[in-house]
Amino acid sequence: MMLFIKQYWKVILIAVLLLGSNYLTKEYVSRGYESTIAEMNVDGLKQTLEMQKLELDKQKQTIKSLQEVNNNAKQRTDKINSDLIAANKSLELFKQKLRSMSSSREGGDSTTSIRSAANAATDKLVLSQLLEHCAERYKRMAETADRSRAAGLSCEEQYQSIREVFNGKEK
């Protein structure tokens, strides 16, 4: 057996070297392939993260615009409500003045001329038309306030539902 090894030691050494280099090459290629797959997975995760960031930015922008719309609707509703209160006060003041004018005309002396009676009738006609006009305007303002209120509530509901969806994804 020693003789065999002495004769073929070069061939045996070459065979061992070839087997070792083949093993090392296989390991190198295998690890390179695994690292390539890992890099591809990392790249895929990075892309997914970027897409999620973009989606999150879109959702934040949507929520911001809904907040602006909601705030604007609340401001318009508050303005309409304050206008309605002012109109109501003016109407009450007008009614009081009308009553006082009416009572002062009726409480006059019996020697009032026909001309002053005609002026009183004209005044009452003008005042009644003005009162009717104010009542119509008040009614239109109330309808506008009701529509604004309904729109504001609807907007607020949509905002809350989007906010819930956003908060659900965030957790």
As a whole number of angstroms, the distance between CA 61 and CA 29 comes to 48
In this predicted structure, what is the pLDDT of residue 57?
92
- CB contact at 8 A, 147 and 80: no
The total of other beta-carbon atoms located within 10 Å of residue 152's CB is 19
Place of tokens 């303005």: 79
As a whole number of angstroms, the distance between CA 72 and CA 49 comes to 34
153: containing domain: 55-101+116-163
Cα dist. 150→13, 33, 159 in Å? Answer: 92, 62, 14
- CB contact at 8 A, 88 and 128: no
Range with the poorest average pLDDT among 2-6, 78-82, 85-89, 156-160: 2-6
* Average per-residue pLDDT for the chain: 79
Q: What is the pLDDT of residues 55-86, one digit of tens each?
A: 999 988 888 888 888 888 888 888 888 887 88
pTM for the predicted model, two decimal places: 0.42
Burial of residue 40, with CB atoms counted within 10 A of its CB: 0-12 exposed, 13-18 middle, 19 or more buried: exposed
pLDDT at 30 over 60: yes
Would you say residue 25 lies in a domain? no
Cα 118 to chain centroid distance, Å, stands at: 60
The residues, any chain, with a CB within 8 Å of residue 145's CB and separated by 6 or more, are 77, 80, 81, 84
Would you say residue 120 lies in a domain? yes
* Number of domain units in the chain: 1
Q: What is the average pLDDT across 94-120?
A: 63
DSSP 52: H
In this predicted structure, what is the pLDDT of residue 51?
92
pLDDT at 31 over 80: no
Would you say residue 66 lies in a domain? yes
pLDDT > 70 fraction of the chain, expressed in percent and rounded: 82
pLDDT at 17 over 80: yes
In this predicted structure, what is the pLDDT of residue 108?
52
Would you say residue 2 lies in a domain? no
